[in-house]
Structure 1
């Protein structure tokens, strides 16, 4: 059902281990049973989903089959633990789960889980027995490979077939560690600690954990943002929403046995290092500047979060596998801190660009998130901090400094306050609607409006990328629909839904109840905002973004609402695009960005990984050589000294970012996207000076 790349945030129970199967009976394994109240909570969840969720889907026979598949997939996404005979046995429940949940019966979910727990426990015990005797005598000169994506693979049909699969998995784990430079004894010790930890955690699973996993397999069928939160998960959720949360400022999720970086909190400690990117995998965590690295492969998500979280001012080290790299590991030192409003506050800079005829001063406002100090706002502090107030101040300063145009940089801005998105739009347009919200009862709200005359009326650009989401998409969509400015960058995330919390007897239900629509009538859901002028893609849209979720609500449209039109962009855009294409066709930085994305995409599409050590070393050499060639081609074209070796390139990248990080600054020299955006803006300013702008006219619908 759900792709392996994007397992939901609370499916943190995926345990990977490697062993042979011994014929243990179910009676020999400890089992978990439903607790009092869980049946009633299950009935509550079904009722609230059917009554309150936006898409009004009924829990019926069709959904029963989908739930059965989703739950098994959540437990064993690589189809490596269960046998085909297990799956055949479970099919007796395939069409009955809906009826069971309506009557509060959750026993089927527990029986399936207990079989999974047996298989995992048996695997771990056997592999630990093997490792007691040392590493198995693998032949790393043999030409064989391991399938990377088993989402559609057949379940092992026999014990011997499962043994062969796990032999390759264990061999792959050993080879991966050998390639990091570890010796056999060190590898054995690390794997023993890894599997002992996994065995301990699988034995610590509680009835609440099983129930939460089962219920979230149901909620994900409605959409990826609806979740059941057990009392423990609710506590973690509330902590993550609190300004007092101390850590590294990263949103994490599970991908098979790995903890993966889903996104970075703008201005947070991890973001400021410049060394962590979405889709990077975390394989180990160490406390302090020299504490022991703890292997976290196969850990529960919340246990990894607990290990990373800590008091402000302390250090944590993360060992990661960077996305798109050669599989080598990188260790990053991060100083934990609170993510403060001032770290995420809007910042400005002024740069000079030319359209070939005239020089223009372009103001850039970087906006990492849509923030507001709710506590100060509630106590009526006249100096409360917010996005709109800060941007208004910066606009006033930029106008006094005689800028000719303004770029509002919303790249990596994951959203925030809807109120602030609306009020920010008010700074750039006159009175009019900003966003439409359709609720589960099909009523449409248009209360989010611009209510005053625009503070800034000059040329405007909004810069977005794949990580611009939610409130960012509302603002960018409004600017685009009003023809108020040009939108440049990449297709945005596509998060166009609104969730609310519904209380339950045990825990709470986060449920999608509304959907955003632009004034043009287009939804921001799934499709996001498409830029007027596209920049090179830097993030894989197939693995990051709303459209990457199998159960994401679809894009649709409703009636447009009357709104003004400002610039005649239909007339201007062809010329702007032509000059942009001409300028970037031979630009060394843009050539490099396109090559790099194509190279990483090809590696991400791999179906197999070799288990031959020399082949893997040769592959790494080819990867490093290609990366060095691409970078040196860029440097030579720019008149820079090429690197002699890949190691020299790595060292320069390490030196270019601080290990701990500092304040985010707006720079052009390391940001070819922003640099080109400045030239597009200078062309835009030149056109507006040559073209008489008619007053805004209300569009006819």
Structure 2
């Protein structure tokens, strides 16, 4: 069977670190400037028509920008501007109803009037709210923290306020919550007033500086995301940031960021980047303030994410300090400061690495090989230049496997946790190291044409027992490799269900900016899509990542799972008879494993915290709740440490330094990290179980039989 691969300008990585805009703003100009309503420029009108044309003709789903689609865009636009229903009044929403059926239809003619009317009203409401906040924080003393009242933090489905009085009361509580959080953080009343006044003043200042580009970008985001979450419009400024990100041409900290409510949140760390190497920043952390070296902190709550990125970027080897609100923390009294030295991320930093761990079973030590693969990479420039020693995932992994074989390993773990994707051809060729020849993945375009990619090179670099370890952040190219290994039954997949990103994007010029549009989908050789469902492991480990919050299925308007016809391929093993016993042995170990018991306990605590959306505005109650939360966390951690023979901690400081999780603390872990990683250990035990059970199990399927 001939297999093909054509190099196209496709993006298949699950996380590209794109700039995301929401309704929070800030800047540094006089707050006394007057507000001028924005109007679309001719370039934006032309770009809107071009985007509409490309969406209808090139998107995989071939959407119709009709009245029904306009309703979806209308709802999404209001939600993107005001996700907490804290700015618009019910009367505003009533006024906008006239635009519900025509908002998207009109852009086919370059008419952006309705979108700008809504945006201008939003900015006016923001000015009203910020002025109200400034009035409140200028009053002395602080609000009364003994009064029994609370604030609902989850307002996604809250009704729009019907009166100015109701809106004022909501914002009074929001300001009170901010004052209380800073009080709990130990700040003095006069400093609290000063900090909040400056924060609200900065946010107000930006509104007077907003450009038509800002309104256009927000509306186009709402338009494209109403189709699928990976189709995006990039204004010229955002295009520049995207190209910088893809070429790694500007120094930063190596973190993928997004906006969540008024905070800039860390989505993931770039493997080998400065933040990853510093071991201080984690996914889910929120950035509250930024400082240059020893300079003063600039509060960035409510800032636009591109402006936060501008503050974080800087010259190579310079220091940036970040004030961090840890993942899971309720408010700003739990912040801490970290320092990171800016640098670029090199290919070497992201390269595959190998380790050997020894696992004792039956009084015998067994060697298990591990290959960490943070991304699927290739030095395309060196390859094009004819360099015979150019770096690539497949080349590096092949060399690592040969070295591990000399160590006489009894099995191999491919660790793809947090691997967000990368070069498609490398995922395709990497499968070839573990199979003889055969198909690896199918690609279906919007016209229904299916292309089968595969491995034509005969022979296997590694034919021994194989386990692929994944988590919810394993995406795209990782899922292509993992799905192929699972379909061939060449190895066992363990861990958590993967991200579920099974689509392909291409970049198109639209005159004024660019459009990243979904044009194809991946399908496994067994016919099922990776899209939405992800890869479901053969043996599931507990996970601290909630798939209701992270993953393709958690994204609004994610394309659905579907299937096409399978292709012929030959499985290597028949795991059906062994899986029940392998799962049983795994569960028996997990029940007594300190690492997995810790994960389950921490997960239960996090879920309890997440479900609590009503926060008290009484100081005594909040202090009591925080003390109880800290005690629960410390008890869980010390129970794990005691079971592992480690000394208990007296406080939570540095408690996470030795904590296990399905999210590695660093994408570039040390040998000690590998040794203490409970998920890798359990993967190794599964390999030993497989080896032992295989002595009495059916032999591997012979060549040229059992074709699917």
> Which TM-score band (shorter chain)?
over 0.9
Instruction: Give the structure 2 partner of residue 252 of structure 1.
Output: 257
- Aligned mates of 1:151, 1:215 — CA distance in 2: 21
Of 307, 321, 337, the match for 2:343: 337
Q: CA deviation at 1:689?
A: 4.3
| Change in 2 beyond 3 A, CA 1:357/1:28 | closer
Instruction: Give the structure 2 partner of residue 148 of structure 1.
Output: 153
Instruction: Give the structure 2 partner of residue 518 of structure 1.
Output: 524
Q: Say if 1:326 and 1:623, in contact at 8 Å, map to a contact too.
A: no
Instruction: Give the structure 1 partner of residue 3 of structure 2.
Output: none
- Could you say what secondary structure the match of 1:37 adopts? helix
Q: Say if 1:130 and 1:136, in contact at 8 Å, map to a contact too.
A: no
TM-score, scaled to structure 1: 0.93
Q: CA deviation at 1:359?
A: 3.9
Where in structure 2 are the equivalents of 1:4-19 lying within 5 Å?
10-15=19-24
Where in structure 2 are the equivalents of 1:76-475 lying within 5 Å?
76-131=82-137, 133-135=138-140, 137-288=142-293, 290-325=294-329, 327=331, 328-356=334-362, 358-475=364-481
Q: CA deviation at 1:57?
A: 1.3
Instruction: Give the structure 2 partner of residue 576 of structure 1.
Output: 582
Q: Say if 1:459 and 1:688, in contact at 8 Å, map to a contact too.
A: no
| Change in 2 beyond 3 A, CA 1:696/1:286 | farther
| Change in 2 beyond 3 A, CA 1:398/1:631 | same
What runs of 5+ residues in structure 1 fail to find an aligned partner? 1-5, 18-26
- Could you say what secondary structure the match of 1:32 adopts? coil
Instruction: Give the structure 1 partner of residue 677 of structure 2.
Output: 671
- Could you say what secondary structure the match of 1:175 adopts? helix
Q: Say if 2:136 and 2:172, in contact at 8 Å, map to a contact too.
A: no
Question: Aligned pair 1:638/2:644, yes or no?
Answer: yes
Q: CA deviation at 1:584?
A: 1.4
Instruction: Give the structure 2 partner of residue 490 of structure 1.
Output: 496
Q: Show CA shifts across 1:268-301 (max 9, x none).
A: 221223332222211111111x321111000001
Instruction: Give the structure 2 partner of residue 24 of structure 1.
Output: none
- Could you say what secondary structure the match of 1:469 adopts? coil
Instruction: Give the structure 2 partner of residue 40 of structure 1.
Output: 46
Q: Show CA shifts across 1:180-199 (max 9, x none).
A: 11111111111122112212
- Aligned mates of 2:433, 2:415 — CA distance in 1: 15
Of 668, 672, 687, the match for 1:681: 687
| Change in 2 beyond 3 A, CA 1:188/1:391 | same
- Could you say what secondary structure the match of 2:104 adopts? helix
- Could you say what secondary structure the match of 2:531 adopts? coil
Where in structure 2 are the equivalents of 1:460-609 lying within 5 Å?
460-609=466-615
- Aligned mates of 2:434, 2:667 — CA distance in 1: 31
Q: Say if 2:104 and 2:223, in contact at 8 Å, map to a contact too.
A: no
- Aligned mates of 2:52, 2:165 — CA distance in 1: 41
What runs of 5+ residues in structure 2 fail to find an aligned partner? 1-14, 27-32
Report the number of matched residues.
679
TM-score, scaled to structure 2: 0.92
- Aligned mates of 1:79, 1:68 — CA distance in 2: 15
Question: Aligned pair 1:50/2:72, yes or no?
Answer: no
What RMSD, in angstroms, separates the aligned Cα atoms of the two structures? 2.2
Q: Say if 2:25 and 2:206, in contact at 8 Å, map to a contact too.
A: no
Task: Tell me whether 225-234 or 535-544 shows the greater mean CA deviation.
Answer: 535-544
- Aligned mates of 1:148, 1:32 — CA distance in 2: 31
- Aligned mates of 2:98, 2:145 — CA distance in 1: 43
- Aligned mates of 1:136, 1:448 — CA distance in 2: 70
| Change in 2 beyond 3 A, CA 1:414/1:125 | same
Q: Say if 1:425 and 1:450, in contact at 8 Å, map to a contact too.
A: no
Task: Tell me whether 566-575 or 471-480 shows the greater mean CA deviation.
Answer: 566-575
Q: Say if 2:522 and 2:530, in contact at 8 Å, map to a contact too.
A: yes
Q: Say if 2:70 and 2:104, in contact at 8 Å, map to a contact too.
A: yes
Q: Say if 2:263 and 2:301, in contact at 8 Å, map to a contact too.
A: yes
Q: CA deviation at 1:326?
A: 5.6
Q: Say if 2:133 and 2:171, in contact at 8 Å, map to a contact too.
A: no
Question: Aligned pair 1:693/2:700, yes or no?
Answer: yes
Q: CA deviation at 1:16?
A: 7.5
Q: Show CA shifts across 1:284-332 (max 9, x none).
A: 11111x3211110000010001111122211111112111246411222
- Aligned mates of 2:643, 2:524 — CA distance in 1: 43
- Could you say what secondary structure the match of 2:226 adopts? helix
- Aligned mates of 1:460, 1:547 — CA distance in 2: 28
- Aligned mates of 2:409, 2:37 — CA distance in 1: 69
- Aligned mates of 2:460, 2:242 — CA distance in 1: 38
- Could you say what secondary structure the match of 1:547 adopts? helix
- Could you say what secondary structure the match of 1:581 adopts? helix
| Change in 2 beyond 3 A, CA 1:557/1:402 | same
Q: CA deviation at 1:595?
A: 0.4
- Aligned mates of 1:233, 1:381 — CA distance in 2: 34
Of 79, 86, 92, the match for 1:73: 79
- Aligned mates of 1:57, 1:413 — CA distance in 2: 31
| Change in 2 beyond 3 A, CA 1:461/1:346 | same
- Aligned mates of 1:46, 1:200 — CA distance in 2: 33
- Aligned mates of 2:347, 2:166 — CA distance in 1: 55
Q: Say if 1:326 and 1:620, in contact at 8 Å, map to a contact too.
A: no
Q: Say if 1:223 and 1:551, in contact at 8 Å, map to a contact too.
A: yes
